[in-house]
Each structure stands twice: as C-alpha cells, then as structure tokens.
C-alpha cells in the first residue's frame, strides 16, 4: 500500500530535511506551504530526489480553519512542523502565539476528522520543557527530562514569547489528543543547527553565520542546547515508524557553553576571525544536562557537535556566504 504522509510548513528548516528523508524512504509526501507558487520557498523541495513522483504541494494557512482537511485525509501520519520562530516581535499574540496555538488546533481538528490517520507527530521545542522557576537554579548535577514542563506565567514574566507560544500549543495538543483518542507524539529539539536545504537561512543558521562574520549575538558563557537538524528529521521518522513511540521526546545532542563551539570552529577553521574567549568567560562548572534516554530508545544517535558545526560552515562556504 502507498505510504502517504503530510508535512505542514514543509519549506521550513527542519521540515525540508524531513521531506528529503521521507522521499528517500519511498513515502508520498503531501506538503503544505503558504504559497506553492513562490519558487524562492519551494524550489529546493521540488529539486529533491523523488519529488517529481511523490511530492505534492498544497496551500494551507494555519489560521484558516479547515484548510488542512483535504490535505490530511488519506494520510497515515501527519507531521505538524509549521510554527513561526522569532525572538524579537512587536506583536507576540499575532506573530507567534496565534499561529502556534490556533494552527495546532486547526491541524489537529483536521486530523480528528480523517479516519486514515494513525499517528500525529508535532515539532515542539525544548523551550516548552525547560522554562520554569526550577530552571533558575540549574546546576551541573541536574538532568532535565521529559517530565519537565515550561510554565506560561514564567514565560510571560520574562517576555519569552516564543517559549510561551510553544508551551501553549503543546498543552492544547495533548488536551485534544486525550479528548479525541489521537495517537500523538511531540518532539522537543533544542538549538537546531546543521546545513540548511532551504534558500533563505533560518534564525539559528543566521545567528551562527552572523557570529562567525561579526562575532556578535552568541554569548561565550551562555549555555546552548545543541542538536543537528538531520538528527531532528530522523527522530520524526522514528517517531512515526516505531510502534512503541509515545509521549514527549527531548532532542538535544549536547548541552554546551558557546565558548566550546568557538573552540571547535577555531580548531577546524583557523582562517576565521573569531573572538578570543578569555578565562573569565569560561565557567569552570559543567552545564546541566538534558536526558537522551528516551530519544535513544527510538534509535536516535546524535551527531557530535563538531561534525554539525563543520558541515554547517562548509555549507555557508559552498553558498558563497562565507570565505574560508
């Protein structure tokens, strides 16, 4: 039987890799995007191996109730990846919260109507796991796992609107799944980097490129929860194909201070003009950890941060975004 799946927000960073890997595995992919006619957003999808035969693009709007009905009907699995990612916003409700929350509700309502769907996999974020009052005292002996939940009040107090949007969307998703008997899995990636497939750089890749070129934004003594975009995409497929997959999965390959990433970049690309990190900016204590146990139970083996950074920088070079 034909294996048909749906990927929402298919032109995005993680979703593009997911579509690529699904096509390579013989799946037929119904991919939703805001505008299928915008070649700057979909050309990289159309060029993927197998796209001519098994990739079908659909126009769908997260805020348009029912716009996903016909797309998901007939699919066995729906991957809901579509959700805005932004740090600085002028209108958090309109720019982040409504698309994340209402979009999730709309997609799940469409899934509830469709009799063919066996499982829904939602791309959430580690920001819906870790941001609560306990996170103010994360020592090196702390291991964060899937039993942690972010606190909407905590997020609001800190004007952390992206974390709030992901937290509210996940909470709504689990409520709908319980009430309607949906088989739901949520994935919670951290700071996702790795070679992009899409033409325009996403937020995390832009931040990395800007840091390499200008030494700005990413702070040496701040902790980053890093994961490779390819591992995140593979985790989505494992969450679909593994019958025992259930609940929440944190996806973080390495928790590291940014100075550790700088050391890796300096070692592998000595020609880059990167800032020197002083001893004062190198905390002596190890950072907290995020459990890999459940992710590894799905068969996920995380790439080393060194490989991720090297591949990303090489991708920047190949696109003439960076001279080495």
Which pLDDT does position 88 carry in this prediction?
86
Quick check: 28 pLDDT over 80?
Answer: yes
Quick check: 236 pLDDT over 90?
Answer: yes
Pick from 103, 222, 217: which is nearest to 166 by CA? Answer: 103
How high does pLDDT run on average in the chain? 96
Percent of the chain with pLDDT over 90: 92
pLDDT tens digits for 161-170?
A: 999 999 999 9
pLDDT tens digits for 240-265?
A: 999 999 999 999 999 999 999 999 99
DSSP state, residue 214: H
**Separation CA 243–CA 264 (nearest Å):** 38
Task: Please state, as a whole number, how many other Cβ atoms lie within 10 Å of the Cβ of residue 57.
Answer: 19
Pick from 27, 250, 26: which is nearest to 149 by CA? Answer: 250
Mean per-residue pLDDT, 59-80: 97
- What's the Cα-to-Cα distance from 89 to each of 93, 123, 145, 273, rounded to whole Å? 9, 21, 29, 31
Quick check: 279 pLDDT over 80?
Answer: yes
Quick check: 1 pLDDT over 80?
Answer: no
Which pLDDT does position 259 carry in this prediction?
94
Which pLDDT does position 217 carry in this prediction?
67
Task: Please state, as a whole number, how many other Cβ atoms lie within 10 Å of the Cβ of residue 201.
Answer: 18
Q: What is the CATH code for 4-318?
A: 3.40.50.720
Which pLDDT does position 200 carry in this prediction?
92
pLDDT tens digits for 209-222?
A: 999 998 776 778 89
**Separation CA 118–CA 9 (nearest Å):** 20
- Residues whose CB is less than 8 angstroms from the CB of residue 185 and which lie 6 or more positions away in sequence, other chains included: 119, 120, 121, 122, 239, 245, 246, 247, 248, 249
Instruction: Yes or no: say if 103 and 63 are a contact pair by the CB < 8 Å rule.
Output: yes
pLDDT tens digits for 134-180?
A: 998 899 999 999 999 999 999 999 999 999 999 999 999 999 999 99
**Separation CA 13–CA 233 (nearest Å):** 10
Overall pTM > 0.95:
yes
């Amino acid at each position: 039987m034909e294996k048909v799946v749906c990927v929402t927000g298919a032109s995005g960073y993680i979703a593009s890799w997911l579509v690529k890997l699904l096509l390579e595995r013989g799946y037929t992919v119904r991919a939703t995007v805001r505008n299928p006619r915008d070649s700057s957003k979909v050309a990289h999808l159309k060029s993927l191996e197998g796209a001519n035969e098994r990739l079908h693009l659909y126009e769908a709007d997260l805020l348009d109730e029912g716009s996903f009905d016909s797309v998901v009907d007939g699919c066995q699995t729906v991957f809901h990846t579509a959700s805005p990612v932004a740090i600085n916003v002028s209108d958090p409700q309109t720019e982040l919260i409504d698309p994340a929350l209402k979009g999730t509700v709309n997609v799940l309502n469409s899934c509830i109507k469709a009799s063919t769907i066996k499982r829904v996999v939602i791309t959430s974020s580690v920001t819906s796991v870790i941001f609560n009052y306990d996170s103010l005292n994360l020592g090196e002996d702390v291991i964060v796992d899937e039993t942690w939940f972010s606190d909407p009040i905590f997020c609001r107090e800190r004007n952390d609107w992206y974390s709030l949007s992901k937290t509210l969307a996940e909470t709504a998703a689990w409520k709908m799944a319980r009430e309607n008997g949906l088989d739901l899995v949520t994935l919670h990636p951290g700071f996702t980097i790795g070679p992009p497939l899409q033409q325009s750089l996403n937020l995390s890749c832009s931040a990395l490129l800007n840091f390499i070129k200008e030494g700005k934004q990413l702070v040496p003594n701040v902790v980053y929860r890093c994961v490779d975009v390819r591992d995140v995409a593979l985790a989505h497929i494992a969450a679909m194909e593994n019958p025992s997959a259930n609940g929440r999965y944190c996806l973080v390959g390495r928790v590291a201070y940014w100075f550790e990433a700088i050391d890796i970049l300096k070692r592998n690309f000595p020609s880059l003009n990167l800032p020197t990190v002083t001893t004062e900016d190198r905390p002596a204590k190890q950072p907290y950890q995020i459990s890999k146990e459940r992710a590894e139970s799905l068969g996920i083996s995380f790439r080393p941060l060194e490989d991720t950074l090297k591949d990303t920088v090489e991708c920047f070079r190949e696109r003439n975004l960076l001279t080495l």
